[in-house]
Amino acid sequence: MTEPGPRRTLAVVAGLLAVLGLVLVGIGATGTTAPPAPAAAAAAASTPTPTAGPTAAAGPRQEPSTGPRPVALDIPAIGVTGPVNEVGLQPDGTLEVPAPGPRYDQAAWYRGSPTPGRVGPAVILGHVDSAANGPSVFYRLGELRPGERITVTLADRSTRTFAVDEVRSVPKDAFPRFEVYGDTAGPELRLITCGGTFDDAARSYRDNTVVFARLVS
């Protein structure tokens, strides 16, 4: 069931949110927190670089989300079921990710994106693995196939079910910012983690895995 709500313009956050892959890798692959990246520049060669123009110049906006927040995620096809926490922005404007500790292996919704079920792309992220503990919550994300279902439970105990449209592995230097974070005609979902081969020198994965899904019930 779709709840009415205002469209969110997420294109302005795309340049910064593209650094998500680097931040996830900094924690997920090494078990330690990576230093925050500058708001409008690439922090390392493996970071998707913002293009010139308004998107690169503008930092992400933190807007209050309306409606009940997501609290649980269920993806039967890859054996994911568990809580969803929240992340926001750090003081320097970079995106938070699940920190080392009891919530490290849990998914997190970026509260600057729409609530799942509202118009626009809701963004949920998770780690792929860690050096200390091995596979994490989104370790099998790349195995999803079109048509498979993702169910998000909201704080009011209602659910929103999405069908996978596409799963992409994208190089971080060619991250499709506008397709991932830009406006959509209806309610959609994005699941994001790291992927591809591991760059030992950079201590990061070379790619991001991105799942594109749309609301079906």
Residue 112's alpha-carbon distances to 9, 74, 93, 193, in angstroms, are 11, 22, 12, 18
List of the chain residues with pLDDT < 70: 1-65, 94
Residue 123 φ/ψ, nearest 5 degrees: -115, 120
Question: Which pLDDT does position 65 carry in this prediction?
Answer: 65
Question: Which pLDDT does position 101 carry in this prediction?
Answer: 92
CB neighbours (10 Å) of residue 62? 13
* Domain at 11-60+68-215, CATH from 3.40.50.2000, 1.20.140.10, 3.30.70.20, 2.40.260.10: 2.40.260.10
Question: Which pLDDT does position 34 carry in this prediction?
Answer: 31
Please name every residue paired with 135 in a beta bridge, in sequence order, or none if there are none. Answer: 129
d(CA 193, CA 207): 9
Q: Which tokens hold the place of 163?
A: 């069908």
Residue 211 φ/ψ, nearest 5 degrees: -105, 130
d(CA 16, CA 19): 6
Residue 142's nearest CA partner among 154, 129, 151, 153 is 129
Domain layout of the chain by residue ranges: 11-60+68-215
Question: Which pLDDT does position 39 carry in this prediction?
Answer: 27
Question: Which pLDDT does position 132 carry in this prediction?
Answer: 87
Q: Which tokens hold the place of 142?
A: 């790349």
